[in-house]
Amino acid sequence: MASEDVKTSESAVSTIVNLAAEEAKLARQGVKAPSYAVLTICKSLVAGGVAGGVSRTAVAPLERLKILLQVQNPHNIKYNGTIQGLKYIWRTEGLRGLFKGNGTNCARIVPNSAVKFFSYEQASKGILYLYRQQTGNEDAQLTPVLRLGAGACAGIIAMSATYPMDMVRGRLTVQTEKSPYQYRGMFHALSTVLREEGPRALYKGWVPSVIGVIPYVGLNFAVYESLKDWLIKTKPFGLVEDNELGVTTRLACGAAAGTVGQTVAYPLDVIRRRMQMVGWSNAASVVTGDGMSKAPLEYSGMIDAFRKTVRYEGFGALYKGLVPNSVKVVPSIAIAFVTYEMVKDILGVEIKISD
């Protein structure tokens, strides 16, 4: 059996190598092989998936703390700040507690990131084609506004495709060892929600997510690509060599993009998380302190969630968890963009999309 597996693996590798060699030969002759587009798409999806998995795992403890701060009851506070919150999780749940829900998050973010990056490239190409047709200028480039539109399209497509996993990931993240009911994993959570709350429950909070993803993902891509273009064109402070940006500079561009996007869209993220808890019979116990001071969580919709949150907890409640999220999102977005470009470079995929 082992020898058969080795032979199969060798055969697969040989096939890929031969395919790549044939495509390279055809490329030199100015001809694209029939499988060229499919292989390019696969490489793009792999690069996006790797970028998402690496970036989210790197900041998983901060991601979990952010969600706990967003949904905890203001009358029974367990998590009171970034440092205290991380120490509390470490003390009560150990190392595993810091990464609770990360497996589900990666199962969601890998396909989400793959689809998002690929959708952005395709949307950018389509928008650029229409823009050039409309202006009659074949040398026209994407403007920041057009990049914002492409990023918004990519964000909506990716978020909608993986939203049920995001919903159950939120619930898995907030439960603790003392919670009255335990989801055993992503598939158990999905089946339980379907059985007890119905299919529509998997899309609770989808509307604020769509509204929030437009400025968040749109601004991420728009700011990142625009900063890169500006730096390459102006070449300030010797940051550009041979029309290429270094890893540190690209990380800085990604950090700036993440800061702008998350600040604008954060209140909608808070509302989304709270709406995801509605209908879960044990949600009140989980978010208020493992069974103490139970209070019903009921929102009739996004507007109602906004109104009740501000009325009972103040405007500042819309930014609960912003500090750990800011600490998390800057390196996360930066790592995602740079990892994506580096993996695509390794796989030999053209990443320039503004031509």
The per-residue pLDDT for range 126-136, each reduced to its tens digit, is 999 999 998 88
Give me the pLDDT at residue 354, please.
43
More confident residue, 204 or 29: 204
Q: What is the pLDDT of residue 126?
A: 92
Question: What is the token pair recorded at 141?
Answer: 């480039």
Mean pLDDT of the chain: 77
Decide: 343 and 49 in contact? Cβ < 8 Å: no
249 pLDDT above the threshold of 60: yes
> For 13-17, 146-150, 166-170, 179-183, which range has the lowest pLDDT when averaged over its residues?
13-17
Tokens 């103490």 identify what position?
292
CA angle 170, 76, 64 (to 5 degrees): 25
d(CA 221, CA 44): 16
Residue 75's SS3 state is coil
Joined together, the tokens standing for residue 70 give 């967003």
30, amino acid identity:
G
Give the length of the chain: 355
Enclosing H/E stretch for 245: strand 244-245
Higher per-residue confidence, 349 vs 346: 346
The residue-averaged pLDDT of 24-52 equals 65
pLDDT at 5 over 60: no
CA distance 98 to 62: 8
Q: How far is CA 45 from the centre of its chain?
A: 14
HEC string for 255-309: HHHHHHHHHHHHHHHHHHHHHHHCCCCCHHHHHHCCCCCCCCCCCCCHHHHHHHH
Pairwise CA distance, residues 73 & 69, whole Å:
9
* Higher local confidence (pLDDT), 15 or 342: 342
Of the chain, the end-to-end C-alpha distance in Å amounts to: 49
Residue with the larger pLDDT of the pair 214 and 86: 86
The token duo for 69 is 């701060």
Q: Which of 92-101, 198-207, 278-287, 293-302 has the lowest mean pLDDT?
A: 278-287
* Distance between CA atoms of residues 74 and 77, nearest Å: 6
DSSP track, 14-61: HHHHHHHHHHHHHHHTT---TTHHHHHHHHHHHHHHHHHHHHHHHTHH
Residue 282 above 70 pLDDT?
no
Which of 50, 189, 187 shows the shortest CA–CA distance to 111?
A: 50
Q: Per-residue confidence at 13, pLDDT binned at 50, 70, 90?
A: very low
Tell me what pLDDT residue 127 has. Answer: 92
- Rounded to whole angstroms, the Cα distance separating 211 from 271 reads 11
Q: How confident is the model at residue 4 (pLDDT cuts 50, 70, 90)?
A: very low
Q: What is the mean pLDDT of residues 286-294?
A: 45
Is residue 94's pLDDT more than 60?
yes
Which range, of 20-29, 183-192, 195-204, 235-244, averages the lowest pLDDT? Answer: 20-29
pLDDT value at 162 more than 60? yes
Residue 170 pLDDT greater than 50, yes or no: yes
Q: Note the pLDDT of residue 263.
A: 81
Is the per-residue pLDDT at 329 higher than 80?
A: no
Q: Which of 266, 277, 251, 274 is nearest to 333 (CA)?
A: 251
List the single range of 59-68, 247-256, 293-302 with lowest mean pLDDT: 293-302
How far apart CA 283 and CA 179 sit, in angstroms, is 9
Q: Residue 16: what pLDDT?
A: 41
| Window from 13-17, 74-78, 110-114 with minimum mean pLDDT | 13-17
Range with the poorest average pLDDT among 160-174, 176-190, 240-254, 288-302: 288-302
Tell which residue, 104, 327, 353, has the closest CA to residue 222: 353
Residue 21 has pLDDT above 70, yes or no: no
- Check whether 291 has a pLDDT greater than 70: no
User: Is residue 292 pLDDT above 80, yes or no?
Assistant: no
Return d(Cα 211, Cα 181) in angstroms, integer: 32
For 172-186, 225-239, 277-291, which range has the lowest pLDDT when averaged over its residues? 277-291
